[in-house]
Amino acid sequence: MPTPALDALVAEIERCRAEAIVALQAAADEQAVEELRVAFLGARSGRLKSVQKLLGALVAADPPAAGRHFNDLKTAITRALETAQHRVAGQAVQAQAIDVTLPGTAVPTGHVHPITQTIRQVQEIMARLGFASVDGPEVEDQWHNFDALAIGREHPARDPLDNFYLAVARGADPLLLRSQTSTVQIRVMEQRQPPLRVVSLGRVYRPDTADATHYPMFHQVEGLLVEPGTTMAHLKSVLRFLASSFLGGDVQVRFRPSFFPFTEPSVEVDMEWGGRWVEMGGAGMVDPAVLAAVGYDPQRVSGFAFGLGVERIAARRYGVSDIRDFYRNDVRFLQQF
């Protein structure tokens, strides 16, 4: 039979249960939930502790019934507590997550490699002058890498020590990893008729020992313009525009006499920036023999071509003194660009 004392205990238990559940459901964050845990389940002064004291006084009257009520209460509050803990923990995770609707939220991400950035910028600058970006294969035949560029069979540039030849069946002409992007000039001229303005940026390979200024793989910018009436003055203007746009400021361009088998005349291109002259590559007027070899009429059209080192212009712009840094993949270096 329930006794008045047991009734009072049950009433207190129900009050306690209701208060705990309402409070836990309303708790806004982890701290509030923790405070409620201490308030209700705390080992020393929690609310359940005082209920337990009432229980102690009642044990003589109806121990099993009183104990059952008390245990139910404890289970109910523990469950409500766990539910609340899960809920606020989820909210905390959501609060750390990215709200893409917020303006100006800094999100750390990867970014484009400085060499690729340079390639894209050069493409964009040359596009302003009407040069279309074209591409060619990195595994080349000797015709495009040498013969069509008037680099004869006995020319030292063909030396196996200076090229990455690929193994082929006996008797066949070995292919090679292209040693220059001038190959693309030939590929384009074979397929298209003048007028022509193209730029090609890509990898080239030479078996050089890696040091601060050499790497067995590097990149070149190759420019080619073929139109009636083209002169060296056009070449210099285009190079100066490219250099000034890429490096910023008014960059001076200097030509020094040189020799390449596929240009006549040929020059080395130097650029002055920040008070220093730096060699950037080679250039010249496309040799009439090269124009004739691809079926153009050298009497009607002339053209210029240039080939610059991408790593060189990038190193110059960013103040990098060792091109190996571009390929070490050290994020501390790469993050600067």
Output the smallest distance, CB 305 to ligand DAH, in A.
Answer: 3
Give start and end residues of each alpha helix (H) in the chain: 4-26, 30-41, 47-58, 63-96, 114-128, 142-145, 182-191, 232-247, 288-293, 310-318, 331-334
Stretch that binds ligand DAH, among 30-38, 75-83, 245-253, 299-307 (CB under 6 A): 299-307
Q: How many residues bind ligand DAH (CB under 6 A)?
A: 12
SS3 readout for 114-156: HHHHHHHHHHHHHHHCCCEECCCCCEECHHHHCHHHCCCCCCH
**Contact call for residue 226 and ligand DAH (CB under 6 A):** no
Q: What is the C-alpha separation between 242 and 34, in angstroms, rounded?
A: 65
**Contact call for residue 284 and ligand DAH (CB under 6 A):** yes
Pick one of 281, 287, 303, 311: the residue that binds ligand DAH (CB under 6 A): 281
Output the CA torsion sign for 299, 255, 257, 153: negative
Q: What is the C-alpha separation between 43 and 311, in angstroms, rounded?
A: 69
Output the smallest distance, CB 207 to ligand DAH, in A.
Answer: 14
Using the structure block, give the residue that is written with the tokens 């991400």. Answer: 109
Query: What's phi and psi for 309, nearest 5 deg?
Result: -85, 125
**By C-alpha distance, which of 281, 276, 275 is closest to 223?**
281
Pick one of 163, 180, 230, 302: the residue that binds ligand DAH (CB under 6 A): 180
Among all residues, whose Cβ is closest to ligand DAH? 307
- Contact call for residues 310 and 116 (beta carbons, < 8 A): no
Q: Which is nearer to ligand DAH, 13 or 188 (CB)?
A: 188
Q: What is the C-alpha separation between 40 and 33, in angstroms, rounded?
A: 11
**Contact call for residue 302 and ligand DAH (CB under 6 A):** no
**Contact call for residue 303 and ligand DAH (CB under 6 A):** no
DSSP 8-state secondary structure symbol assigned to residue 327: G
Q: Which is nearer to ligand DAH, 255 or 318 (CB)?
A: 255
Pick one of 118, 163, 263, 302: the residue that binds ligand DAH (CB under 6 A): 263
Residue 228, sorted as left (phi over 0), alpha (psi -120 to 50) or beta, turns out to be beta
Output the smallest distance, CB 94 to ligand DAH, in A.
Answer: 56
Q: Which is nearer to ligand DAH, 264 or 272 (CB)?
A: 264
Per-residue contact flags (x/-) with ligand DAH for residues 49 to 88, judged by CB under 6 A = ----------------------------------------
**Contact call for residue 283 and ligand DAH (CB under 6 A):** yes
Q: Which is nearer to ligand DAH, 118 or 180 (CB)?
A: 180
Residues at the site binding ligand DAH, with contacts judged by CB under 6 A: 180, 182, 222, 260, 263, 281-284, 305-307
